[in-house]
Structures are given as C-alpha cells and as structure tokens.
Amino acid sequence: MSNFATPRADSEAGFTDADFEKLANMAKKKFGLSLSPSKKPLVYSRLSRRLQVRNGCSFPQYLELLERPEEETERLELISALTTNVTSFFREEHHFDTLREACLPDMLAHAQSGGRVRIWSAGCSSGQEPYSIAATILMSQPGIGQYDVKILATDIDPKIVKRAEQAIYPAEEVASLPEKTRHAMFDHAEGSATVVVKKQMRSLVTCAELNLIETWPFKGPFDVIFCRNVAIYFDQSTQQTIWSKFADYLKPGGHLFIGHSERVTGDAMKTLKPSGITTYQKLVQ
Ligand SMILES: C[S@@+](CC[C@H](N)C(=O)[O-])C[C@H]1O[C@@H](n2cnc3c(N)ncnc32)[C@H](O)[C@@H]1O
C-alpha cells in the first residue's frame, strides 16, 4: 500500500454522498446488499476502521482499491464490515421444534430406506445455527449418523466460516442452555473458558464459503433450508430471486425457515405454502 503511505485521521477522510452511492452500488452488485442512505453514518463508522488499516487512505481511494482484481481479501473485509454476524444457539427456538416434530419423521424414514437427507444452513454465521440443527436431530435420533444425512453450512464471510468449522465457543455463551442440551452438545474441559461441539455433531456439518447471490455450486435437492436473518440485508428483487431459488432447491414437501422479520414474496409462493411462523413448505404436485 505504498501509494496510501501518509496516514489520515478519520475526520479528514471525507465521505460524500457520491462516495456512499458508489459504495452502495458496489455492495448491491457484489453481495446483494441493500444500503439505504439512512445507513450512511453506520457505514462511515464501520469503514473508517478499514481505512485506518489500509494506511489511512481516503474513501475515494478505498473505493478505487476495492475494484482491483487482487483486492479480493479487502472485498471480503468490506462484507464483514457491512453485515452483522449476530446469531445464537437455538435462536427462534420454535423452528427447531418444527424441525424435530414436522420434518424429522419423514427425513428419518427416507434415510432408513437408503435415501439422502440434506439440510442447508444458508448464512450460517459462526455455526450456532447448523450445530443447533445437528443437536436437534441427534438428540432426538442418536443413531442418525449411520445414514446419509448431512448439513451444509455456508456463509459469504470466510473468517466466520472458519469459526463455524472450529466449533469452539465461549462457555458463558452456552451457559443459559438447558443442562441436558449442554451435555449432549459440547465437550467442556475442566476449568476451560471455552466449549467445543462434540465430534458426533460436527461430523454431520460441512462448512463452506458461498455468496448467495452468485452461482450455487451444487444441485440439491434439500429436505430443509434455513436462511434466517440474511435476506433482510437484500433489496426486494434480490430477496425474491433467492426465495425462488430456495423453492427450486427444495424437495416436494421440504421446509424453508426464514428470519422473524422476513417474509417470502414473489414467484416462490407459486410452489411454497406458509406452514407455521416464518416457515414455508414446498407443495407436493
Ligand atoms: C445475522 S447473521 C444470521 C446468522 C443465522 N442465520 C441466524 O439467524 O442466527 C447474517 C449472516 O449472513 C451472511 N451474509 C450476508 N450476505 C450474504 C450473502 N450475500 N451470501 C451469504 N451470506 C451472507 C453474513 O456474513 C452473516 O454471517
């Protein structure tokens, strides 16, 4: 970064409406993110840190840098800065009840007759969602690991995917879970400040990087898709494209779980029907 060698203070960097618009267009094109003008102060504060890391370059210089082919890592830093990875184990717990009560019996029967069962946690953040799925399944059906049952966990942010893969969490983060769940899910070495998800649960989960607005390098079909609190960042047309793709990737009778403030609209509703709180089921034609 020799061309940005002179450090500048945040307050000097400047962030015009035109800079914001350029950044918003880039975020929409590359990541599907919708940044309304009201987000300008938030974006300013989050990107100021990146500007400091990049030798105090100005916003226009930073925008120019983001366009360079060799700056893939910085583009990924940008997505980390613009999105939130907030998540928790068994977030929106009713979805896990539905998974156990409405989805699991059919999935188990299918697996026992030699079929493939596939579940996708799309926008999995640091892994709490896919491991909650694994725990729900294994705590109800401890023998399911012997069948062809897999959970794919994907996120656009490579750093967060690595954390999901490591499956190590602060002990205090899981302290409020019921004791039975904690024991079933985690190994906790005496006196350690962290816990690790048990191998049996980790082995159901495969973590990978994936930008949902780019081509998906697999065909599915999936029995269940969780995509919660992700599409909320996208504009309506991107959301509807993603919902339609999820509908296409679901097996007939399969379930889609979305975030509490999201709603499926558009063409996807030609093949999906609401089947509970922020839950949809693919029609069986
Ligand atoms: C708020 S977290 C939701 C985590 C989890 N699904 C939950 O509900 O607890 C949103 C996640 O979406 C990811 N994300 C944002 N844009 C994405 C995109 N275009 N493709 C894939 N993941 C994306 C972020 O990196 C972040 O980890």
User: Which residues does ligand 1 sit against, CB inside 6 Å?
Assistant: 31-32, 83-87, 91, 123, 125, 129, 155-157, 160, 211-213, 228-230, 233, 259
Range in 1-15, 62-76, 239-253, 264-278 the model is least confident about: 1-15
- 47, 156: one domain: no
Q: Report the distance separating Cα 100 and Cα 77, nearest Å.
A: 36
In a domain, 88, yes or no: no
In a domain, 58, yes or no: yes
Q: Report the distance separating Cα 44 and Cα 82, nearest Å.
A: 10
Which residue is associated with the tokens 């500048």? 8
pLDDT, average across residues 17-27: 90
Residues in the chain: 285
Q: Report the distance separating Cα 251 and Cα 118, nearest Å.
A: 10
- 28 exposed, middle or buried (CB, 10 Å; 0-12, 13-18, 19+)? middle
Q: Which of 60, 121, 116 is nearest to 89 (CA)?
A: 121
The whole-number pLDDT of residue 6 equals 36
145-159, pLDDT tens digit by residue? 999 999 999 999 888
Which amino acid, one-letter code, is at 161? Answer: V
Q: Among 30, 93, 125, which is best to mutate for testing ligand 1, by the most ligand atoms less than 8 A from CB?
A: 125
CA 226 to ligand 1: nearest atom: 6
- Reported as a pLDDT band with limits 50, 70 and 90, residue 30 is confident
In a domain, 177, yes or no: no
**For 113-208, where are the alpha helices, taking DSSP H only?**
128-140, 158-166, 171-174, 179-185, 199-202
CA 87 to ligand 1: nearest atom: 9
Q: Report the distance separating Cα 209 and Cα 23, nearest Å.
A: 23
The proportion of the chain whose per-residue pLDDT surpasses 90, expressed as a percent, equals: 74
Residue that finishes a domain, picked among 82, 104, 132: 82
Residue that finishes a domain, picked among 61, 82, 103: 82
- 144, 11: one domain: no
Range in 52-66, 111-125, 137-151, 239-253 the model is least confident about: 52-66
- 43, 111: one domain: no
- 8, 113: one domain: no
In a domain, 10, yes or no: yes
The answer, yes or no, to whether residue 102 has pLDDT greater than 90, is yes
CB 130 within 8 A of CB 151: yes
In a domain, 146, yes or no: yes
Which CATH number is 13's domain given?
Answer: 1.10.155.10
Range in 14-18, 198-202, 237-241, 278-282 the model is least confident about: 14-18
Q: How many whole angstroms from 7 Cα to the centroid of ligand 1?
A: 33
The answer, yes or no, to whether residue 39 has pLDDT greater than 90, is no
Q: How many whole angstroms from 212 Cα to the centroid of ligand 1?
A: 9
Our answer to whether residue 155 is catalytic in this structure is yes
Total domains present in the chain: 2
CB 119 within 8 A of CB 133: yes
Higher pLDDT, 1 or 37: 37
Domain of residue 225 covers: 94-168+196-282
Closest residue by Cα to atom 10, ligand 1, is: 230
Which CATH number is 266's domain given?
Answer: 3.40.50.150
- 137, 207: one domain: yes
The whole-number pLDDT of residue 1 equals 33
In a domain, 251, yes or no: yes
- 215, 133: one domain: yes
Residue that finishes a domain, picked among 48, 82, 116: 82
Strands 205-209 and 149-155: parallel
- 208, 117: one domain: yes
- Reported as a pLDDT band with limits 50, 70 and 90, residue 267 is very high
